[in-house]
Each structure stands twice: as structure tokens, then as C-alpha cells.
Amino acid sequence: MAKVFNWQLGREMEYPYPDAKPQRQIAMVFDTNKCIACQTCSMACKMTWTSGRGQEYMFWNNVETKPYGSYPTAWDVALLEKLGPQTWEEGVYTGKTIFEAADGKTEKVLGLLPTDEEWAHPNLGEDEIAGGNVPRGMHINELPHKVWFFYLPRICNHCSYPACLAACPRRAIYKRPEDGIVLIDQSRCRGYRECVKACPYGKSMFRPNQEVSNKCIGCYPKVEKGLQTQCVEQCIGKIRGQGWLSAGDPEVPRPEVPSAARADSKDARAASDDARAASEKVREDHPIDYLVRVRKIALPLYPQFGTQPNIYYIPPIHVPADYLHQIFGPGVEHAIETYKQAKDDETLKGLLLLFGSTPEIIERFEVAKGTARGWNGKGELVATIPLTEPLHVRDSRDAARGVVRLDVT
């Protein structure tokens, strides 16, 4: 086992391979307060990537109702019970990760292999409430609510320390140096399913007719063109922002991009070095860095597992903090308080309004003079959103047409 630094845990931890951070790391922020469980994201992914035989049950993107929903069934509570309660001291995780809790002989990662039955009910627990009943006529006006649920959209986290990768005896799983997307090499995979057992998020899935495993591919053909993934672009609730997260720990060596074209060109190599240096700095003008590293409003899901997931969640403001602490770790109270103030915070409000405003990945944003703007990786302006929708009021009587309007705005 190597020692790697997991910033979400505030400490070093054991991992089977030495650290090899990508040139830049794909990351997303999901605002759980805005998700309406329409499942458009789930269907966008399914129609794009998993409509083949043997993939019928697969939802690389799923949306579950917390606390009772889960896909595969009980994926989180079953592992949490094995791992034991999480313990933190002043922002440092003092419990064991799934790598440290494994016996090291029969398994490299503490995991669970879901049964076919557990894969069969993606909507189990949907809209079930916690905290009591809602009698007819009940009015809910306090925060957090006594009765509550919330929707949790989930995809592969393209973890910095992927458990699936750590567990595969064939070394069929790799993390792309260009963007940190985690992929299963379908030609190397022999269907051992150690990855399915090891992924603590239930995001590696076995395809029985081909005897290989499949997982979310981060829509890499789109990402390579500077476009958002299908599940991000199609999100009806505009809850998702996609981009890059700075490394934040520049002492870790970065691998070269294994591209002959780039290696042949001195200019390209210099550009690659520049990109690497840039990826290490925290950027206040980058949407994901701003939300995760600067404002700390978006938190990882079950950080105690230790994979350093790269999908971040703005926690729901109506849910009791003790449950949120269990699911998102420390920092929940700060994130909720900051989010509640967003209506009076121009930069935060403007950035959240940029979610869902363009199919392109926004790499720089600015909020000024009542307008939020976003630029793509080429420096082109791709989104302009007013913080307040302009209101136009027309005369109720239209003299030119000789009619009276009922709707004047």
C-alpha cells in the first residue's frame, strides 16, 4: 500500500497505488435544493449509452430519494454498517476508509457485491418521507423540516482514488491523465466483478451477455470537445454545473499526456506544462473551484469512504443536519448557511444562475452589473444571464389592434 493525501479527509491514507494526479480533474456540482426527480438525466444517459442488450438494468445516472431510496438497494447503508460510524476531529477523519478497513489478504477494498434482486428496483423508496406522517392540511413552515426527503442524483464520481481501479486484478481500469475520467478498458476486462464489489457508490455494473463490466464514461467524447455531459446538459432543473477542480496540492508529480501528437510538438508540450501549472492553483473565477474550494458550499458524498469523489453536492437546506453530516461529512452547516444567503450574494447567485445556461463547459465566470457571464475553454463568451429577469409592462389596451389584453407582462 502507498500513502496518498486525501484532502477531503484532511490526512494521508493508504491506497494500493502511488498518487498520479491527472493533468486536470473533471468535477461537477449538483444543487440538491433544485432537483425535482424528473429523471431526465437518467433517461438522457440511458438513451445515449446503455440501450444495448445486457444493459437493461443499468442506470449510470440515477436519482434516488433520501433517506430511503437507493440503487442498488441499500448500497450505502450496507457498506456504512460494515465500515462503522465515522469519526472526525477538527476536520480530520479519524476512522478507517474502505482501503484501510479491508483485510488486505482476500480483499484490497472493503466492499459488497449487490445481488441481482438489489439491482432490480431503481426507484425503490421514491418520495418516501422520513420523520413522521403528514396529516391532511398540515402546514410546514420551519427549517429544517420535521418531515422531509430529498432527491440525490448520482453518477460515477470519477474518484481521485478509485476503488474500482484499486480492486481490478486485470488492471483493466484506468484514470485518464487528460481529464481524470475513470474508464474500464473493455478489451482487457474479463468480468471478474471485483470492481462491482469495490465501488462504494454502486457505479460499476456487470454486463452478463458480454461478461464485462460497464460504467459511466463521463461522456468523454463530449468533454473532449469542451461540451457538458449528457446528464448535465439535459438537466431540467438546471441543478448541475460541470468543469474542473484544481489539484490544490502542487507537490504531487503529474503524468505526461500519452499522446504522440502532443509529445511530438514542443509548443504542445509547453502548453501542457502551462495547463498543469494552472490546474494546481485554486481559481476564484472558475465555477467549480469557487463553489468547492473558495466558498465551500458543495461537499463530497460519503467522504469517509476515502475515494476522494469528484461530484460535489450543495446540501438541501430543509433536512436535519445530523443526517446531512452522515452523508456529506463536516462542513454541512457552513454550506447551508452560505446557500441561504445566496439571494443577497451577487456572485454566488449569478454563478448558480449560470448552471444549465449553455451546452459548453464554462471555464471562467464573472458577475458584474447585474449580469452573470461565462466563457468556455477557448475564451469565448458562451452565456450571459441577467440576475433579475427584465419586466416589461404593456398597456392593457392595444389601440393599434383595437383589443384589450388580459396579460400585460
The footprint of ligand F3S on this chain (CB under 6 A) covers a number of residues equal to 14
Q: Interface residues for ligand F3S in 134-193 (CB under 6 A)?
A: 168, 170, 172-173, 184, 189-193
Shortest distance, position 89 Cβ to ligand F3S, whole Å? 35
The reply on whether position 182 binds ligand SF4 by CB under 6 A is yes
Length of the chain: 409
Among 4, 27, 29, 35, binds ligand SF4 (CB under 6 A): 35
Chain mean position to CA 56 = 23
The reply on whether position 101 binds ligand SF4 by CB under 6 A is no
Shortest distance, position 210 Cβ to ligand F3S, whole Å? 11
The reply on whether position 299 binds ligand F3S by CB under 6 A is no
Shortest distance, position 185 Cβ to ligand F3S, whole Å? 8
Stretch that binds ligand SF4, among 196-204, 252-260, 270-278, 316-324 (CB under 6 A): 196-204
CB 169 within 8 A of CB 190: no
Which of ligand F3S, ligand SF4, none does 307 bind, CB closer than 5 to 8 A by kind? ligand SF4
The reply on whether position 26 binds ligand SF4 by CB under 6 A is no
Shortest distance, position 100 Cβ to ligand SF4, whole Å? 16
The footprint of ligand SF4 on this chain (CB under 6 A) covers a number of residues equal to 41
Which of ligand F3S, ligand SF4, none does 288 bind, CB closer than 5 to 8 A by kind? none
Per-residue x/- marks for ligand F3S, 189-228, CB under 6 A?
A: xxxxxxx----------------xx---------------
The reply on whether position 79 binds ligand SF4 by CB under 6 A is no
The reply on whether position 125 binds ligand F3S by CB under 6 A is no
The reply on whether position 252 binds ligand SF4 by CB under 6 A is no
Q: Residue 153: left (phi > 0), alpha (psi -120 to 50), or beta?
A: beta
Three cell numbers written together for 125 = 423508496
Of the pair 190, 394, the CB lying nearest ligand F3S is at: 190
Shortest distance, position 184 Cβ to ligand F3S, whole Å? 5
The reply on whether position 45 binds ligand SF4 by CB under 6 A is yes
Stretch that binds ligand SF4, among 44-52, 243-251, 258-266, 294-302 (CB under 6 A): 44-52
Of 280, 301, 299, 303, the residue nearest 291 (C-alpha): 299
The reply on whether position 204 binds ligand SF4 by CB under 6 A is yes
Contact footprint for ligand F3S (CB under 6 A):
168, 170, 172-173, 184, 189-195, 212-213
